[in-house]
Amino acid sequence: MLTVADVLRRHGPAYLDRHATTMPVEQKRVLRCIMACRTGELGTVHYACRQCGQAHVMGRSCGNRHCPSCQSEKGGVWCERQLARLLPCHYFLLTFTVPQAFREFARRHPREAYAAMFRASSDALKSLAADPKRLDVKTLGFFGALHTWGRDLNYHPHLHYVVPGGGLDAEGQWRQTPTSFFLPCQPLSLLYRGKLRAALAAEGLLDEVDDSVWSESWVVDCQAVGDGAAAVKYLAPYVFRVALSDKRIVACDEQSVTFRYRRSGSQRWRTMRLDADEFVRRFLQHVLPRGLQKVRHYGFLSPRAGQSIESLKWLVAAALGLLFWLAWTETIVAPPTPDFACSECGGPLMRIRFEPPPPPRPIPTSQPP
């Protein structure tokens, strides 16, 4: 099966030759990491099967968070952990987008733009939820993830938040929302736009954004998603990979790359054929600034919150009359699957030793006569 790494190994060197002088340093680093992943260029790892003893030698993984091969298993583990943390209440999925004209600024200043999007959207949520005419809660809890791509790999930065349908009031008691309504989207979008503008002004970057952005309507969408499990499963594949998975690659030749995609609102798979240079460009434009946290937790779901998730579950269950149900409910988290399995018997592999790559050969220098 073709992989994204196969495509980048085939077309990445030529792309670097043509664009190295204009590419961001982080894009060059990611491209080189993925091209070297599991090839032996980063060293080799020796394994032995715990069941049959068969020896296996594999190229070392690059471990880069943008590499689809390295991140394929992590999404499932993250999903299981988030499912275990869901409160016994209904949930909503909120999506915060930015206008087309803002995307050019975000492309030039990704670190500042993404940080401002997170800050503005989370503050808007908390502010509107605290309004006595709205939800009237003191503390809201939610988590979200940054996405920068559309289904055809084009640049489309937006945020998804999974939000429990309620919050904690001033007395620390659970206050529930209706199952089909959380907060009105129009006031939320106005707050989001205003707070994002203020955040950029504080950074001294407001003049670099097209003025037309602030007169456009900003889209915030809110959907009821039941117990939240479906929303978590929707987000999981996108949290630990970038742009597309290996299984979507259909073909790759000397000139082009073909991949599968689905249009928004449709379940029918289509194919898109791109010039190889354009495919590499579209993939690399989603490389995140180094160290940027793309998944964030807020309020009582933050790791820094003083209340444990178990005590929150009991608090919500007591408020909704679900104590009997919660007492007999046991969350089962599937054990993580091994990264590699034996090709002979399917058993787990045991790492034996790591063999580093050979040192680079010195460049010969001419000797004076």
162 and 300, same domain (yes or no): yes
Q: Sheet of 55-59: strands edge to edge?
A: 55-59, 44-49, 349-355
pLDDT at 144: 93
What does the pLDDT profile of the chain (369 residues) look like in tens digits?
889 999 999 999 999 999 999 999 999 999 999 999 988 899 999 999 988 888 988 888 888 888 888 876 677 788 888 999 999 999 999 999 999 999 999 999 999 999 999 999 999 999 999 999 998 999 999 999 999 998 889 999 999 999 999 999 989 899 999 999 999 999 999 999 999 999 999 999 999 999 999 999 899 999 999 999 999 988 887 787 777 888 899 999 999 999 999 887 788 999 999 999 999 999 999 999 999 999 999 999 998 888 888 899 989 988 887 765 555 454 444 444 445 688 888 888 888 888 888 776 665 555 555
Is 304 part of a structural domain of the chain? Answer: yes
134 and 201, same domain (yes or no): yes
Structural domain for 239, as ranges: 68-243+287-327
215 and 302, same domain (yes or no): yes
Judging by beta carbons within 10 Å of its beta carbon (0-12, 13-18, 19+), is residue 211 exposed, middle or buried?
A: exposed
Is 53 part of a structural domain of the chain? Answer: no
Structural domain tally of the chain?
2
pLDDT at 324: 56
| Exposure b/e, 294-326, CB count within 10 A at least 16 = b | bebbbbbbeeeeeeeeeebbebbbebbebeeee
Is 58 part of a structural domain of the chain? Answer: no
> Tokens 């471990």 identify what position?
63
pLDDT at 231: 92
Is 145 part of a structural domain of the chain? Answer: yes
pLDDT at 328: 44
Is 144 part of a structural domain of the chain? Answer: yes
Is 351 part of a structural domain of the chain? Answer: no
pLDDT at 325: 53
Which region, left, alpha or beta, applies to residue 213 given φ > 0 means left and ψ of -120 to 50 means alpha?
alpha
90 and 115, same domain (yes or no): yes
Size of the chain in residues: 369
320 and 276, same domain (yes or no): no
Q: What are phi and psi of 124, to 5 degrees?
A: -65, -40
82 and 203, same domain (yes or no): yes
- Domain termination site, one of 229, 255, 285: 285
75 and 207, same domain (yes or no): yes
253 and 104, same domain (yes or no): no
Is 85 part of a structural domain of the chain? Answer: yes
255 and 163, same domain (yes or no): no
pLDDT at 335: 46
Please report how the helices 185-202 and 110-130 are oriented relative to each other, as an axis angle in degrees rounded to 10. Answer: 130
Single-letter amino acid code for the residue at 256: S
118 and 257, same domain (yes or no): no
322 and 252, same domain (yes or no): no
192 and 318, same domain (yes or no): yes
Is 248 part of a structural domain of the chain? Answer: yes
